[in-house]
Amino acid sequence: MAGYSRIDDSPLGRWWRNVDRTTLVCTFILIGFGYILMLAASPAVAVRIGASRNMFIFKQVMFLSVAGVIVTGVSILSRRTVLRLSLIGGVLMLGATMLTLVHGIEIKGARRWIALPFMSLQPSEFLKPCFAVVTGWLLTQRRISRYFPGMLIAFGLYGLILLLLKSQPDIGMLTVITAVFLVQLFVDGLNLIFVGFGFACMIAAGIAAFFIFPHVRSRVERFMHPNVGDHYQIDTALRAFGNGGLMGRGPGEGRVKDLLPDAHADFVFAVAGEEYGLVICLLIICVFAAIVVRTLLRLIREDDPFVVIATTGLLTGFGLQAFVNMASTLHLIPTKGMTLPFISYGGSSAMSVALAIGMVLALTRQQPGGLRSGNGFISTLRQWRSA
Cis peptide before 368 (omega within 30 of 0): no
Is residue 88's pLDDT more than 80?
Answer: yes
At 354-371, the pLDDT tens digits run 999 999 999 998 765 443
Give the pLDDT band of residue 10 (cuts 50, 70, 90). Answer: low
Bridge partners of 121, per DSSP, are 114
For the chain, give the number of residues.
387
Whether the pLDDT of residue 228 is over 70: the answer is: no
CA triplet 352, 357, 358: central angle to 5 degrees?
95
Rounded Cα distance, 38 and 206, in Å: 33
Sketch the domain layout of the chain as residue ranges. Answer: 88-340
In the prediction, which pLDDT does 260 show? 80
Q: Cβ contacts of residue 228 below 8 Å, gap of 6+?
A: 221, 222
**To which H or E segment does residue 19 belong?**
none
Greatest mean pLDDT among 45-54, 207-216, 309-318 lies in 309-318
Tell me the C-alpha distance between 180 and 320, whole Å: 9
pLDDT interval class at 54 (50, 70, 90): confident
Q: Quick check: 112 and 348 in contact, CB under 8 A?
A: no
Rounded distance, CA 31 to CA 342, Å?
5
* CA–CA gap between residue 164 and residue 242 (Å, rounded): 40
Least trusted range by pLDDT, from 43-52, 105-114, 143-152: 105-114
Contact indicator for 279, 245 with CB cutoff of 8 Å? no
Distance CA 380, CA 386 (A): 10
- 315 and 218 in contact (C-beta within 8 Å)? no
Confidence band (pLDDT; 50, 70, 90) for 279?
very high
How far does Cα 165 stand from its chain's mean position?
16
Rounded-to-integer distance, Cα 351 and Cα 289, Å: 20
- Residue 112: helix, strand or coil by DSSP? strand
Instruction: Tell me the C-alpha to C-alpha distance, in Å, between residue 107 and each of 59, 95, 112, 169, 173.
Output: 20, 20, 8, 11, 16
Which amino acid is located at 278 in the chain? L
Q: So what's the pLDDT on residue 364?
A: 92
Most confident of 48-52, 103-107, 111-115, 339-343: 339-343
Which residues, 6 or more positions from 78, have their beta carbon under 8 angstroms from its beta carbon?
A: 362, 367
